[in-house]
Copies of this chain bind each other. A is one copy, B any other.
C-alpha cells in the first residue's frame, strides 16, 4: 500500500509503525526524528517528516505518557458546594490566568470541582496521573493529607489551611483589611458597619481582623453591634443581611459600609439603592477583591484589589518548578493588595 492510497482513506489514528513502514525506516528512527534527539540522516529525516505531514500523523500522547511517566497534564480542583464553579467572579479570573499560563508551558489542564471533604476528584486526578495539582479555595485537612500521601506536586491558591508543609499562594488579606479601614477612616468615617463573610474562610477572617484592628489602633474599636455575620459570601446573602440589619444600620447612623468581599458589598448596595440611599453621600460602601462587577456597577464600587491574574500565573509557574525540580524556594507567596477608589466612596 502506498502513501497516496492511505491519504485518500478516512484519517484514522496512525501509529509510529505505519509512519515507519511508509517511510521505509524503523520505528526507532521515526521516534528519533519526531523527538529531535538522537541521530537521523537528513534523507531519513526528510522522508519521515514528509510522510507525517501527508497522513497528518498525530503522536499518541497517551502512549508517550506511559513510557515517559509524565502526562503533561495538570489538574485544578476547585472546591465548591454548587455552581458557580468556574463562573465564580474571583476563581474564574484565577482560572483564566492558570489556563493561559499552562498553555504557554504546554500543559493541558483538567478542571474539576468537588465537595470540601470529598476525596473523589483528587483520586480521579491521581488515577489520571496528572503531573501536578492546583487546589483552589478551602480544603479540609483530610483531603490535603490524602494528596500528600502520593507522589504528586501540588499547591494551594487562595486557600485555608494551617498545614505549613503546603505551598500557599495568597493575598495579604489582613493588610488589605487594614487598607480598607484606613481609606474609610481617612475620609472621616467613624461609624462603619461591617458585613463579614463566613469566618471559617481564612480570607474573610483575616480581612475582618485587619479592618477592625486598624480602627482599634486609631482609637475607634468596632462595637459588636456593628458587625453582621453572613452565612454565605454571595450576592443574595449580602442583600439579605443588609435587609435584616437595615433597622440597626439606620438607627445608629452609620456613614459607611464595609463587606469582606465585593459580592456581599454589591448585594448590600443594591438593597441600599432600592431604599434610595444616596451612595456615597449618605453611605460610603467598600468591598474587597475587585471583581469585574465592581467597576461595572453604578456607582462603581471602591475595593481592595486582589491580584487574581498574578496568582493564577504564578501558581502555574511554581507548580511547573515543583514538577521539574521537586522543590521550590518559598512555602508561601503573598501578594500586596491595592486600594481602588471608585464612586462609592468618592465625594
Which residues does A use to contact B, with CB under 8 Å? 10-13, 56, 58-63, 65-66, 71, 73, 83-87, 89, 92-93, 95-97, 99-100, 103, 108-113, 121, 123-129, 149-151, 235, 266-267, 269-270, 273-274, 292-293, 296-298
Inter-chain contact B108/A109, CB cutoff 8 Å: no
Inter-chain contact A61/B128, CB cutoff 8 Å: yes
Inter-chain contact A87/B85, CB cutoff 8 Å: no
Inter-chain contact B84/A129, CB cutoff 8 Å: no
Residue numbers in B under 8 Å from A93 (CB-CB): 83-84, 87
Inter-chain contact A99/B127, CB cutoff 8 Å: no
Q: How far is the CA of A155 from the CA of B82 in the complex (A)?
A: 26
Q: Tell me whether A150 and B13 are in contact in the complex, defined as CB-CB below 8 angstroms, given that A85-B99, A128-B108 are known contacts.
A: yes
Residue numbers in B under 8 Å from A124 (CB-CB): 108
Residue numbers in B under 8 Å from A103 (CB-CB): 112-113, 121
Extra inter-chain contacts (5) besides given A60-B129, A86-B96, A109-B111, CB under 8 Å: A73-B128, A83-B96, A99-B112, A100-B113, A103-B113
Q: Tell me whether A273 and B296 are in contact in the complex, defined as CB-CB below 8 angstroms, given that A62-B129, A87-B92, A112-B108 are known contacts.
A: no
Inter-chain contact B13/A129, CB cutoff 8 Å: yes
Most buried by B among A63, A85, A89, A267: A85
Residue numbers in B under 8 Å from A121 (CB-CB): 103
Inter-chain contact A87/B292, CB cutoff 8 Å: yes
> Which residue on chain B has the smallest CB distance to residue A65?
B62
